[in-house]
Amino acid sequence: MNPSNLPSRSLLTHFETLEDPRTSYLVEHTLLDIVALTICAIICGAETWEG
């Protein structure tokens, strides 16, 4: 695939429109941070939430 045909938006920009259903005063990390870390973990071979 020719890279010039790919969208110019970053992966995280794509997820910025997600609504966070969590209770705001209990939030320690932004939803976007959790999504980014999850994507990185999957790329690195993570298969479960446990270490």
pLDDT digits (tens, 9 = 90+) for 11-26: 788 888 999 999 999 9
pLDDT of residue 16: 86
For 18, the token pair is: 């997600």
Closest CA to 41 of 30, 16, 50, 28: 50
pLDDT band at 2 (very low <50, low <70, confident <90, very high): low
Q: What is the mean pLDDT of residues 24-29?
A: 94
The separation between CA 49 and the C-alpha centre of its own chain, rounded to angstroms, equals 15
Provide the pLDDT confidence category of residue 50 given band limits of 50, 70 and 90: confident
DSSP secondary structure letters along 2-50? -GGGS-SS-HHHHHTT----S-GGG-SS-HHHHHHHHHHHHHTT--SS-
